[in-house]
Amino acid sequence: KNHPFWKQDNIRLWPHVAAETNPDTAAKQIANAIKCIDNNIVPPNTVDRTLGY
């Protein structure tokens, strides 16, 4: 919290949260990712680190 933005009254800092996580949906996505990995398939929505993310 040493960044100057924290001291500005006209700047609001918020965490990056697009939406709440639905536990059922998350469990299905995790199970699908595990199945993909077990079958040597890249899971959906995998970040390609070579792109610099």
Q: Name the domain count of the chain.
A: 1
CA-based nearest residue to 46, from 27, 31, 37 = 37
Is residue 53 in some structural domain? no
pLDDT of residue 13: 84
The per-residue pLDDT string of the chain (53 residues; one tens digit each, 9 = 90 and over) reads 788 988 899 998 888 888 889 999 999 999 999 999 999 999 999 998 898 76
Is residue 10 in some structural domain? no
For every residue of 1-53, DSSP letters joined together read --SGGGG-TT--------SPPPHHHHHHHHHHHHHHHHTT-PPTT---GGGT-
pLDDT of residue 32: 98
Domain that holds residue 27: 19-45
